[in-house]
Amino acid sequence: MRGVFFSVGDVDNTPMPDVEVPVLIVGGSMVGLSTALFLAQHGIESLIVERHDGTAIHPRAGHFHLRTLELLRSVGLEQAVRTTSEERFFPNGGINAVETLAGGEMISYIPDLNDGVAEFSPSRRLFVAQHALEPLLRHRAEELGATLRYATEAMSVDQDDDGVTAGIRDCATGAQRTVRARYLVAADGNRSPIRQRLGIGMRGYGVLSNSATIYFRADCRALLQGSDLGVIYVFNDAVRGFFRFEKSGTSGFLAVNTLGDPTRPGALDVTDGLTTQRAADLVRAAIGVPDMPVDVEDVAHWQATADVAERYQHGRVFLVGDAAHALPPNGGYGGNTGIQDAHNLAWKLAMVIRGTAGDELLASYDAERRPVGELTIEQAYTRYARRVTPELAPEDLPPLVDDFSMEIGYRYHSPAVLPDPGAVQNGAVVGHPRSSGGAPGTRAPHVALRAEGQPASTLDLLGDGVVVLAGPDGQAWCEAARSAGSQLGVPIRAHTVGIDVEDPQRSFGPAYGVCDSGAVVVRPDGFVGWRSRNGTTDPEQALLGALRTLLSTPDRLEMA
């Protein structure tokens, strides 16, 4: 994307727009598509403009975390993604390290991708290539009402007090049009022209290496037999990086971060002089079979970077995905964190656009997601330093946070979360999901239930709106929820767990920190926003007060 200009203030001379849409999304890869999909789930129309001709052509990304699969589950895509994954990858593949593929395992990081998962989630981690996932996201987003324009770039963007005006150009014909939107979401990548023109800086660890991903074909079936691995780190004198093979054992890619010891001159610049022949030699060095036939299909140059934007919002423009945080691939955080950005932002935009929440709600996007982004670049850097360049690791290298905590244990602190009365707030951004206890600001815990005789999860009771979950003696909360929702114009679904759905182990109360007469309010993104540990004499007023605060409702602002 070229020539993106910004001005904040009046744009009275702007011509009448050719297109008007609530949300314009610049960038149509995985995170941009996810943003459109989640907005469409809430009934909000969006337009994506993407300068490339279509969805991804290379298998970038790949390791999808629990939270991401839960979000795909909520939009009806989990099974389709799982089926696509199982066509090409092992369902529970692990992550290990070798000197060479032929030399065998040195370290096992994760023997089984889904070991211990059932305690915390109805979903399962998996590997899936981005070029296979994006068409699924696109189809579902369009099915729900999103509009996509490929081979189209944003040439100019101006914002004023009421919205954003963008000039877009068809890359094939040169035809230009004007788009008027209430909000713009920048999903335009780690070199985001929009972020740069807004003057939003990046901070963190900077560029770690000039890396390359080599897409190749080679018959490694004998070397991979019985391994069922999803990611294989390589650590030798010639190559450091990682393999990802398809389960056929005959194709995959090798991401190369350094040419052996990173302290050697030039070792961190993999791309310098990288010919096709040199790329094939690096693949052979990682495989460990010097005469192995290798067919290099393509080579992608990229920078391993660990940085986060100084802010995620500028007026009516929001940064998501790589535009907000540039991450090395170690730990698989990039795509997952971006999809979760999109999910957090979408419901807030939807409620403000519909007029059921105040503009103040949008400020909670930066307040909630930027601390998570800062934690994530720290953890991705720690994994990169430990697994790829230990010689360069600083003495104060941040300690590892376990994967369950990183995937489903992050915690929000913002005006869109109401802590328990008297609770001590330590500001922790992450904690183990086993210790969350359903506290406001944490992801609603998974509890195994039964609905209509079939296994279910508390997460299946959630969806695209506000949900009240009450204990078996909390029917009054459900009645109050219907009344409060009607008064606020906010659709609210309510369930008494143990009555509406079976709770065979009576696990709901302990998991959510409420007694049989208590209740929790779960936000549209599946995070607990407020709870009452016990019943109350006036549940309707309690819910009204909580919701008006959580959503910064216009009613509350007028009353203030």
End-to-end Cα separation, the chain, in angstroms: 44
Q: Are 350 and 292 in contact (CB under 8 A)?
A: no
Q: Which DSSP letter does residue 435 get?
A: G
Give the Cβ contact number of residue 550 at 10 Å: 23
Cα-Cα-Cα-Cα dihedral of 187, 191, 192, 197, to 10°? 170
**Distance between CA 50 and CA 52 in Å, rounded?**
6
Q: Are 313 and 320 in contact (CB under 8 A)?
A: no
Q: Tell me the C-alpha to C-alpha distance, in Å, between residue 415 and each of 183, 186, 354, 549.
A: 21, 24, 20, 7
Give catalytic status of residue 205 as yes or no. no
**Distance between CA 185 and CA 192 in Å, rounded?**
11
Q: Are 460 and 467 in contact (CB under 8 A)?
A: no
Q: Are 347 and 524 in contact (CB under 8 A)?
A: yes
Q: Where are any strands of DSSP class E within 474-549?
A: 492-496, 519-522, 528-532
Q: Give me the catalytic one of 183, 215, 233, 412.
A: 233
Please compute Rg for the chain using Cα positions.
Answer: 24
In sequence order, what are the beta bridge partners of 495?
Answer: 469
Task: Please enumerate in sequence order all residues whose Cβ is within 8 A of that of 391, keeping only pairs 6 or more positions apart, or say none.
Answer: 261, 262, 263
3-state secondary structure at position 520: strand
- What token pair was written down for 171? 């890359």
**Distance between CA 549 and CA 523 in Å, rounded?**
12
Residue type at position 443: R
Q: Are 511 and 520 in contact (CB under 8 A)?
A: no
Q: Are 245 and 220 in contact (CB under 8 A)?
A: yes
Task: Please enumerate in sequence order all residues whose Cβ is within 8 A of that of 264, keeping only pairs 6 or more positions apart, or say none.
Answer: none
**Distance between CA 97 and CA 99 in Å, rounded?**
7
Residue 156 main-chain phi, psi, to 5 deg: -150, 150
Q: Where are any strands of DSSP class E within 27-132?
A: 46-50, 63-64, 94-98, 105-110, 126-127
**Is residue 306 exposed (0-12), middle (13-18) or buried (19+ Cβ within 10 Å)?**
buried
**Among 492, 498, 507, 499, CA closest to 539:** 492
Long-range (24+ apart) CB contacts under 8 A made by 259-265 are 260/236, 261/237, 261/391, 262/209, 262/388, 262/389, 262/391, 262/392, 263/391, 263/392
Catalytic residue numbers read 233
